[in-house]
Copies of this chain bind each other. A is one copy, B any other.
Amino acid sequence: MLQYERFETIMNKLQKQSSVRVSDLSRELGVSESTIRRDISDLDKAGRLKKVFGGAVPKTDDTDFAGRSVNAVSRNVEEKARIQVDEKSEVAMRAASLIEDGDLVYIDAGTTTGCMIDHISCQGATFVTNGARHAIRLARRGFKVYLLSGRLKAKTEAVIGPGAVDSLHKYHFSKCFIGTDGVDRESGLTTADIEESMVKTKAIELSQDVFILADSSKFGLVASVTFAPLDAGAIITDRLPDEAYRRQARVVELHR
């Protein structure tokens, strides 16, 4: 087994497990503990994880108040992209079809909104986004693209924080497309990161038409921070698990 493969295996495990042990890795990968220690040291030096006594934990780019690992709940971009692919893609396709020539569109960072990019058919829209990779992909497709300024969060590749909110002020969007971690009748629309939530809230405020992208798995979930009430915009979903949501929000349901 190549050193590089071990590196990737360790990092993959850390995305799901929130911690790994030297002894376990040594057994599972069939190499000595010395080697695992070296690997972990190298990955730590490279800034890809945090070495702790007995093993390693994922490196969170914004330090949790206790300095503890919070990765068990919030996975990173690639991981998230893998799950619920079909549903995400359907929702995204529908959302993309709403974009028209002349629109000034805000596209939120995130995997679901990212799916939209390949499905945008009209050519005359202008885009603003806080997703660094989204911006690159949009620009490649030939669109006029503006990026927000501010700190780049490694895990979600999103520009966040007060700087990002500031640089939003001058825009007046005709449409905005926002992803969400949770949709709940009591808590409304929620997301895991407070700084990301600030950006979402501001973008919604500045937009004429608001669209929330939420595949069916998001309903009933509540993340750390509420960024908008349920009726902040139209919720686009593949399947609505509970008709009760209709009383509180405008819902676009793809499968009946």
Contacts and interface: CB of A to CB of B under 8 A. Distances in A.
Contacts of A149: 146-150, 167
A163 interface: yes
Contact of A153 (B3, B139, B143, B152): B139
Contacts of A152: 135-136, 138-139, 145-147
Contacts of A153: 139
Interface stretch (A50-58, A194-202, A246-254): A50-58
A80 interface: no
B123 A3 contact: no
Interface in A69-108: none
A4 B57 contact: yes
A3 B133 contact: no
A4 B52 contact: yes
Contacts of A163: 146, 167
5 contacts: A5-B18, A59-B142, A140-B154, A144-B151, A146-B151
